[in-house]
Amino acid sequence: MPYINIKVTDENVTKEQKQQLIAGVTQLVVEVLNKNPVTTHVVIDEVHIDNWGVKGKQYSELINPQN
């Protein structure tokens, strides 16, 4: 039973985009690992940009340096 966890920043990811991610990653696991899509679970976590870091900085600071 595959469990796939996708983490993205909370920057306007639409319901449709989430549906595409879930369908796409499920299909990939079916094709690559020969897993049953019925028992494949996908969770999308949206992380606030203050809680996401890259290059030693908060992502919110990198995209809004004046704050």
Supply φ then ψ for residue 29, to 5 degrees: -65, -35
pLDDT at 11 over 80: yes
Q: What is the pLDDT of residue 67?
A: 58
Beta-carbon contacts of residue 9 (< 8 Å; ≥ 6 apart):
46, 47, 48, 49, 52, 59
Q: Which residues are catalytic?
A: 2
Tens digit of each residue's pLDDT (9 = 90 or more) over 47-66: 999 999 999 999 999 988 77
Mean pLDDT of the chain: 95
